[in-house]
Amino acid sequence: MEILISGGTGLVGSRLTEMLEEEGHNVTLLSRCPQSHESIKTIVWDPKNQQLDAEDLKGIDYIFHLAGAGVADKAWTNSYKKMIASSRIESTQLLYDTIKMLEQKPKGLVSASAVGYYGIRTTDNIYLENDPPDDDFLADTCVKWEKEVNKLSTLGMKVSKIRIGLVLSKKGGALKEIARPAKIGFGAPIGSGAQYMPWIHIDDLCRMFIHCMHQEMEDTFNGVAPEHINNRDFTRKLARVLNKPLWLPKVPSFIMKLLLGERAQLVLQGSRISAEKIQKKGFEFKFESLKEALLDLYS
């Protein structure tokens, strides 16, 4: 199939591209930079100024929509929070407006979303896809983002959304930063250590995207592994896999707040998220436990 990926040069998009090409699909990337990839065809778009030529999308069978500014990349100034939201909402609006002009539209689309939809808090609840959203910044961003994604289904496309948790990859992302102190023997729980870390191996996440495409799904799913693990146990298992000692004192919450500001809630709070719905749709995880995932990444 002819497949288009927005955000295809990012951590998840790059691995998804590799896996789709291994299946024999032809992948095209949507990027703001014409030379974003050496060997893969790239279509240039400008979501901020709502510029994308509909002619460039002719012949596309399926779309994976991953575009969006990194949530943890920079300090949450008012301007950057606006960019986090607008990069997701405006890019989705541009896809809708452009696809609407096509006589032959793609069969379907799978869009990224985030578990931030449920709010960043540590509770006893295990969140399901039909639970209501929270009202904090990330939840509000996810609600508006998903609202725009849902409009694509009115064009006759089969649309699914995956609310992604902490993506584990040794090539970048959060795990690289989490493992940095552990690798030199200073790994330690953060804050209370009781906050949950809804995680997923990058290969399982990409397989989940592809599963939604093959099964022609029209639904919302949580992109997390079945195992629930808190920050304390995550840190311990990471240290064991790396064969490094665990630095016993916890990193105080106030230090993380000084270092990260408002972003500190990303590491100081976290809930359990259910993976049952996607499993009931026939998806089988390759890495169900954190130990399995870490051994694969660091073997």
> Measured between alpha carbons, how far is 238 from 52 in angstroms, rounded to an integer?
43
Least confident segment among 60-74, 119-133, 167-181: 167-181
Over the chain, what is the mean pLDDT? 92
Which pLDDT tens digit goes with each residue over 41-54? 999 999 999 999 99
37: confidence class by pLDDT, cuts 50, 70, 90? low
| Greater model confidence, 268 or 100 | 100
Residue 73 CB coordination number (10 Å): 10
- Asked if the model's pLDDT at residue 248 lies above 70, the reply is no
At 36 the three-state DSSP class reads coil
The CA distances from residue 94 to 88, 101, 114, 149, 220, in Å, are 10, 11, 20, 11, 21
> What is the arithmetic mean of pLDDT over 59-65?
97
pLDDT surpasses 80 at 252: no
Residue 254 lies in a domain: no
Residue 251: inside a domain, yes or no?
Answer: no
Secondary element (H or E) of residue 58: none
Q: What does the alpha-carbon distance between residue 215 and residue 28 come to, in Å, rounded to a whole number? A: 21
pLDDT at 215: 96
> Residue 182 carries which side chain, given as an amino acid letter?
A
Residue 187, pLDDT > 80, answer no
Q: Which domain holds residue 148?
A: 2-232+259-298
Pick the range with the lowest mean pLDDT from 120-129, 133-142, 153-162, 264-273: 264-273
- Does residue 226 form part of some domain? yes
pLDDT at 36 over 80: no
Task: Please say if the pLDDT value at position 238 is more than 80.
Answer: yes
Q: Give the residue-averaged pLDDT of 156-167.
A: 97
Q: What is the CATH number of the domain that holds 142?
A: 3.40.50.720
Measured distance CA(138)–CA(125) in Å, rounded: 19
Check residue 136 and give its pLDDT: 93
Task: Mark 48-59 as b/e (b = at least 16 C-beta within 10 Å).
Answer: eeeebeeebbee
Q: Is residue 225 part of a domain?
A: yes
Rounded mean pLDDT, 233-249: 86
| Mean pLDDT computed over 157-166 | 97
pLDDT tens, 98-118?
Answer: 999 999 999 999 999 999 999
Which residues fall within 8 angstroms of residue 20, CB to CB, at 6 or more apart?
3, 27, 210
Residue 198 belongs to a domain? yes
DSSP, collapsed to helix, strand or coil, labels residue 63 as strand
pLDDT at 68 over 70: yes
Quick one: average pLDDT of 227-243?
93
| pLDDT at position 267 over 70 | yes
Reported pTM: 0.94
Residue 125 lies in a domain: yes
Q: What's the number of domains the chain is made of?
A: 1
Cα dihedral sign for 15, 21, 22, 25? positive
- Judge whether residue 33 has pLDDT over 90: no
DSSP 200: E
Cβ proximity of 291 and 233 under 8 Å: no
Q: What end-to-end distance do the CA atoms of the chain give, in Å?
A: 33
- Does a structural domain hold residue 246? no
> Which secondary-structure segment (H or E) carries 262?
none
Question: Is 26 inside a domain boundary?
Answer: yes
